[in-house]
């Protein structure tokens, strides 16, 4: 600010500088928040894929157990002389 500026202009200059500092700080915060959101979105995508994979493994295991139970029942009736 030039030395000949009046008091009002100096006060306005101080307000502008404060606002510019705040804007600079908030701009950095916004950028960090956007970066964090991107990382969290990628993590959520990975978690959803893991859930889908785990669910499919569970379904396969349930079918396997059902088949084993069916085989046990058939074996029992076969041993008892009651074939299907």
pLDDT along the chain (84 residues), means of 10: 84 93 84 93 98 97 96 87 59
| pLDDT the model gives residue 24 | 85
| pLDDT the model gives residue 28 | 78
The DSSP letter of residue 6 is -
Q: Nearest 10 degrees: CA dihedral of 42, 45, 49, 50?
A: 60
Q: Which residue has the tokens 């959803």?
A: 48
| pLDDT the model gives residue 83 | 54
10 close to 1: Cβ distance less than 8 angstroms: yes
| pLDDT the model gives residue 82 | 62
| pLDDT the model gives residue 42 | 97
The pTM assigned to this predicted structure is 0.57
């Amino acid at each position: 600010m030039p030395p000949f500026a009046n008091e009002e202009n100096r006060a306005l200059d101080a307000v502008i500088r404060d606002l510019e500092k705040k804007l600079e700080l908030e701009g950095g915060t916004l950028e960090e928040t956007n970066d964090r959101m991107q990382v969290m979105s990628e993590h959520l995508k990975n978690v959803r894929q893991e859930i889908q994979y785990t669910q499919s493994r569970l379904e396969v295991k349930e079918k396997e157990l059902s088949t084993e139970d069916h085989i046990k029942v058939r074996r029992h009736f076969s041993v008892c002389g009651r074939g299907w």
